[in-house]
Structure 1
Amino acid sequence: MSRWGLTIPLTGVPLTAHKELVEQLPDLGYTDAWTAETAGTDAFTPLVLASQWAPQLRLGTAIVPVYTRGPGLLAMQAATVAELAPGRFVLGIGASSPVIVSAWNAADFSEPFARSRDTLRFLRTALAGEKVSEKYETFAVSKFRLERPADPPPSIMLAALRPGMLRLAAREADGAITNWLAASDVPKVRSVVGPDVELAARIFVCPTEDADAARGLGRMLISSYLTVPVYAAFHEWLGRGEALAPMHEAWAAGDRQKANQVIPDSVVDELVIHGSVESCREQVRAYVDNGLTTPIIALLPTGEDPFEQVRGLAPR
Structure 2
Amino acid sequence: MTVLGAVFRPQLPPERLRDIARAADDAGLEELWLWEDCFLESGIASISAALAWTERLRVGVGLLPVPLRNVALTAMEAATLHRLFPGRALLGVGHGVQDWMGQTGTRVESPVTLLREHLVALRALLAGERVTTDGRYVKLDAVALDWPPSTTPAPPAVYAGATGPRTMRLTGEAADGTILTGGTSPDAVRLARQLITEGRESAGRPGRHPVVVYLHTATGPDADARLRAELDTVGDAWGPDGPYGVAGPAGAVADAVRELAEAGADTVVLQPTPDEPDPEGFVRFTAAEVRPLVPRTE
Q: TM-score scaled to structure 2, two decimals?
A: 0.82
CA distance in 2, matches of 1:168, 1:31: 28
Which residues in structure 2 correspond to 1:1-316 (within 5 Å)? Answer: 1-9=1-9, 11-12=11-12, 14-26=13-25, 28-38=27-37, 39-103=39-103, 105-152=104-151, 153-179=155-181, 180-194=183-197, 196-208=208-220, 210=222, 211-220=224-233, 222=234, 225-226=235-236, 235=238, 238-240=239-241, 267=242, 270-302=243-275, 304-314=277-287, 315-316=291-292
- Where 1:44 maps in the other structure, the secondary structure is helix
- Where 1:4 maps in the other structure, the secondary structure is strand
CA distance in 1, matches of 2:123, 2:189: 28
- Give the CA RMSD over aligned residues: 2.4
- Where 1:62 maps in the other structure, the secondary structure is strand
Q: Is contact 2:20–2:279 with CA below 8 Å preserved after alignment?
A: no
How many equivalent pairs are there? 274
CA distance in 2, matches of 1:77, 1:272: 33
Task: Describe the shift of the 1:213–1:124 C-alpha distance in structure 2 as closer, same or farther (beyond 3 A).
Answer: closer
- Where 2:217 maps in the other structure, the secondary structure is strand
Query: C-alpha displacement at 1:100, in angstroms?
Result: 1.8
Task: Describe the shift of the 1:281–1:301 C-alpha distance in structure 2 as closer, same or farther (beyond 3 A).
Answer: farther
Give runs of ≥4 in structure 1 deviating > 6 Å.
none
CA distance in 1, matches of 2:95, 2:17: 29
Task: Describe the shift of the 1:290–1:28 C-alpha distance in structure 2 as closer, same or farther (beyond 3 A).
Answer: farther
- Gaps of at least 5 residues in structure 2 are 198-206, 293-298
CA distance in 2, matches of 1:217, 1:25: 23
Identity of aligned residues (%): 24
- Gaps of at least 5 residues in structure 1 are 241-266
For structure 1, which segment, 137-146 or 270-279, has the greater mean C-alpha deviation from structure 2 after superposition?
Answer: 270-279
Q: TM-score scaled to structure 1, two decimals?
A: 0.78
- Where 1:215 maps in the other structure, the secondary structure is helix
